[in-house]
Amino acid sequence: MRTTTTALISAAAAAALVLTGCGTDSAGNSTTSGATTSAVQSQAQFNDADIAFLNGMYPHHAQAVEMADMVAGRTDTADVVALAAAIKAAQQPEMDRMTDWLQQWGQPVPASDMSGMGHSTDHGDGMMSADRLDALTALSGTEFDRQWLTMMIEHHEGAIEMANAELADGENSDARQMAADIVTAQQREIADMRAALG
């Protein structure tokens, strides 16, 4: 069904482009059909599922980066330090790309300052509550390692669920590729974290 809808939208966009070629006034300015063309092209590029994915994944990534930042000074375990660095290196650039896409689509951009953001309670999307984050900051050494790994596995599982929803319902090719990359990377990191937990 989605393929048929996409084909229809593409055909409408092509027709609108042809009409726009004729839709200029004596000064060579585009007439109102140009706005229609822009809207059709925009609709062909993303849908509500794409917007929901970016709006949900941005704060999810922001919290993962926050958790990665907690590692410094609380553990010297090489595996945990390396995992935290990898998570931050992958997810911060993805957040920047999400912001760019939302701006291009004329959508509100999530707040850039996500420090300390946590749900007041856990919501089943892998986001950690403020209480759990506070408890994590009080730990160090082996206790910190085990809790951080356990929480990050849960966090990653939530991200994979969100990414799979985008793959099922999203339309934008860039957002869908990001979702596929998230699934691949975070499944691999979950395996590494489970191995580190023993």
Q: Is 106 found in the same domain as 27?
A: no
d(CA 153, CA 83): 11
Q: Write down the pLDDT at residue 43.
A: 45
Q: Write down the pLDDT at residue 10.
A: 41
Q: Is 50 found in the same domain as 27?
A: no
Q: Write down the pLDDT at residue 162.
A: 97
Q: Is 38 found in the same domain as 57?
A: no
Residue 6's alpha-carbon distances to 53, 72, 125, 195, in angstroms, are 19, 47, 29, 43
Q: Is 52 found in the same domain as 41?
A: no
Q: Write down the pLDDT at residue 6.
A: 40
Q: Is 148 found in the same domain as 69?
A: yes
Residue 42's alpha-carbon distances to 47, 58, 101, 142, 178, in angstroms, are 9, 21, 12, 50, 19
Q: Is 113 found in the same domain as 92?
A: yes
Q: Write down the pLDDT at residue 112.
A: 53
The total of structural domains in the chain comes to: 2
Q: Write down the pLDDT at residue 34.
A: 47
Q: Is 116 found in the same domain as 174?
A: yes
Q: Is 171 found in the same domain as 100?
A: yes
pLDDT per residue as tens, the chain (198 positions): 444 334 333 433 443 333 334 434 444 444 444 444 444 444 458 999 999 999 999 999 999 999 999 999 999 999 999 999 999 999 999 999 999 999 999 999 887 554 444 444 445 689 999 999 999 999 999 999 999 999 999 999 999 999 999 999 999 999 999 999 999 999 999 999 999 998
Q: Is 51 found in the same domain as 38?
A: no
Expressed as residue numbers, the domain containing 10 is: 1-45
User: Domain containing 90 — which CATH number?
Assistant: 1.20.1260.10
Q: Is 83 found in the same domain as 10?
A: no
d(CA 45, CA 40): 9
- pTM exceeds 0.85, yes or no: no
